[in-house]
Amino acid sequence: MPPTTSREFQRAAAQRLDAARVLLREKLTLDAQYLGGYTVECSLKALILHLTPNPDKPDALQRLTTGAAMHRPDVLRGELRKLGVVLPVALARRLRRFDWTTDLRYETGRRDTGETVALLKTAEAVYDWVEGQLP
């Protein structure tokens, strides 16, 4: 069952980040990146839902949890811009270099450890920034 509140999305983001860290310690870098990407997705969705006016929340929730485009950080950033949110410059730069897609679920093998660490640092930065925006 998908989250229905901004706090539920943020809890999902925290759990994905914790799991990604465990996978990285076990050198399962591809899997760590896969879950790390969901940290970013869930955090951005948490903020979008939080900022959406109450009467519009059901439609926003439906839109956020339907369709492949809503997994993409660039699309979610666009949704935030519509709500008047501009990410801090450093975070926006990190996300521009954030190379993640749900297609990782079909890949096998390992990824570069440094690349994985960088991706997880970005995921953590997004999570922390969103956490600071939520009540």
pLDDT in tens, 8-60: 999 999 999 999 999 999 999 999 999 999 999 999 999 999 999 999 999 99
Q: Are 40 and 66 in contact (CB under 8 A)?
A: no
Predicted local distance difference test score (pLDDT) of residue 132: 97
One-letter-per-residue 3-state SS of 30-91: HHHHHHHHHHHHHHHHHHHHHHCCHHHHHHHHHHHCCCHHHHCHHHHHHHHHHCCCCCCHHH
Whole-structure pTM over 0.85, yes or no?
yes
Domain boundaries, the chain: 6-133
pLDDT in tens, 73-93: 999 999 999 999 999 999 999
Other C-beta atoms closer than 10 Å to the C-beta of 115 total 12
pLDDT band at 2 (very low <50, low <70, confident <90, very high): confident
pLDDT band at 99 (very low <50, low <70, confident <90, very high): confident
Predicted local distance difference test score (pLDDT) of residue 50: 98
Other C-beta atoms closer than 10 Å to the C-beta of 78 total 11
Q: How far apart are CA 117 and CA 112, in angstroms?
A: 9
pLDDT band at 1 (very low <50, low <70, confident <90, very high): confident
| Domain boundaries 6-133, CATH class | mainly alpha
Per-chain mean pLDDT for the chain: 96
